[in-house]
Amino acid sequence: MVMDGYRDEAVVSKPPAATALSNDEERCVDNRSNGFSCSFSAIKERELLCVTSGNTCLGSHLVKKLLSRGYFIRVTIQNQEDFEDMKELIKQEEMNLLESVVVAKMGDLDSLCEAFRGCHAIFHTSSFTDPHGVAGYTERTAFLETQAAKNVIEACARAAYVKRCIFTSSLLASIWNINNADRIVDESCWSNEAFCRENKLWLALGKTTAEKAAWRKSRELKVKLITICPALLMAPSFPNAHIETSLPYLKGGQVMLQRSILATQDVGKAAEVHIHAYEAMDYGAGGRYLCFDRVVQRLDEAIQLENWLKMKGLLSGGGNVMSVEDDDETPSRISNSRVAKLVFCASQRLSCKQ
């Protein structure tokens, strides 16, 4: 289903060829006979990319950054109401550049196939965390997210012009393994599903099982997959728009703080990492990438984060959770060296094989 406001703007049923436009403004029109149309100009090349959940903070940042790089963008949302949220996050002039906005349910394989048809890659940023923080994240939500991951990979294999997927997971899918509590957390680490269930860490469970399902399905269907595993996402509008959505991530936050695995990531930079990963696929990029730009290592930093979230004592326990002084810093137990190398190599067009 194409949103009403964009029904006549653009429809793509086959991949648009790379096209150079003249200096004169050139405008394409809706042409259902050949399946290709556009409503913007002055773009060097057109690669059709699909971003799921453009109404989320990460999804909207990714859409805007891809548009600025000249890509041809299709966006999926889950329902009509999400379109209103999306318009609050993306300026009208940027909305006008979109190829289309399509309602595609994550649980509906056929609608996903239709949404992905002709795309050169899928950026699956969709999360089942309620953007308004009302519904929360439950064991049932974790199950639905895992089923959605399978559907996304299968739809990519069936309908995409190029079978490539950049899949947003979470750092939570790597940090909860109590049997290896003393080791440095890197891309080889996975959260223990039984531990997550026992402690009702539902977001960690959902991200772990969804990412694992995506890897299994991608190997089965020969979809080239990269997973980005960001820490707690932060944005310039934070905390006003994202207080409640941080709650599922921060369940178990005091333990994260004690183990020096509580990390944050600027959402704009996270979007850039997704783009670097996609553009580096031709240079050997692949696998998982843990993504964070700050580790909360001191008690005063934890209290500052609490203040931003307006959740006093959530991490610090009122100052009792840690025995260190405010200026004591505990060593970080997580590594982002792999994503740092990816960003450097991608910017230099060097081989990204690791």
Structure tokens belonging to residue 204: 């960690």
Q: Of 207, 212, 217, 251, which is the active-site residue?
A: 207
DSSP characters for 154-185?
HHHHHH-SS-EEEEE--THHHH--GGGTTSPB
Which residues is 228 bridged to in the sheet?
168, 289
* 12 close to 118: Cβ distance less than 8 angstroms: yes
CA dihedral over 18, 23, 27, 31, signed as positive or negative:
negative
User: In a 10 Å sphere around its CB, with 0-12 CB exposed, 13-18 middle and 19+ buried, how is residue 221 labelled?
Assistant: middle
> Is residue 91 annotated as a catalytic residue, yes or no?
no
CA distances from 19 to 15, 46, 71, 256, 279 (A): 12, 6, 11, 49, 19
Two tokens at 37? 């149309």
C-alpha to C-alpha distances, 164 to 28, 81, 111, 154, nearest whole angstrom: 27, 29, 18, 11
Number of helices (H) and strands (E) in the chain: give both, helices first.
13, 10
- Grouping H, G, I as helix, E, B as strand and the rest as coil, residue 196 is helix
Residues serving a catalytic function are 207
